[in-house]
Structure 1
């Protein structure tokens, strides 16, 4: 028990002082590796515009690895199936209640799978829509209308959902927005510059919110 406590204390201390971010690799066959330039571009944007000092060499960590505790911010995306083993779910739950944060960005088609798997992580919690006046929409840049629309999927409005623990937002699920596509290199999707800028600004809001709360 003392060894476990020491480990979690060490991980919690690392979360307090680290500004590094990582991509989550998960099981199930979904393309966790999609949008390879997205998070590195967001990191550079944050370092250039909101005074962060994040390592631009973005790491990949597995959902069930204790390595996730080195990173206060985890990003997860994909189009398809997601599967968390019991060990994965327990590891993510411990990480999130210890001070970590997970941003899941639906790259189109991920929603039915991830919502089911999140019940393993927090069986008694529901994803709830985050109100537009939440400070995640204004921590660095103002988004009075909430989550911006970056790519069209099914003609639905973009929505931001969250899971809260002790009044702290520990998990953000962005749906029908596709922020990650907007963070990619310009030639990947040929988005107009103002659309990419909106995506990067909203991403910077998420990062700033995580590091300051």
Structure 2
């Protein structure tokens, strides 16, 4: 059966999933790229973005597994782009160029309607205006027996956690401090929501946590 999952979601030591002041110049917020140093070094992530080389090892194993058996993604609007309010036109097509790294249907949560957008490589962005449950229904229908991955951001993951809809999470704690930004744990009581840590794997670049719903 299809699961709803979070994979390779990076956090700082002080619990932030993105830096402050996200913008066109800083899509992950100020200093937000520091969260993903472990990922940028891996063979898997370099291949995803058309680059050669990269490191093998534990971090790469987790990165590769994060892409296994995916049939659809769900993104918050901020993850898709910096445009706020009604879409002024169809010119913004995401951060990733004409061939985004998803290669499956992607469902973007938004309050403002927009026609689906087909990209190269099999990615089709669908814009969902009627809530998280609708996005999940559509994503599961598209995914079939494969899993649906929530790409973020923090607010979107929070909504699905509070609704008890996420089956398990892979969080990656990077050895950096941001001081401010989007706090992952603020207002979220994971034990009360039925989640527990089942595995912890440290590497020189990060600590990988597996969290499941009981």
TM bracket (short chain): under 0.3
- Choose between structure 1 and 2: higher helix proportion: 1
Q: TM-score, normalised by structure 2?
A: 0.27
Normalising by structure 1, we get a TM-score of: 0.28
Q: Indicate the structure whose relative CO is greater, using CA pairs within 8 Å and at least 6 residues apart.
A: 2
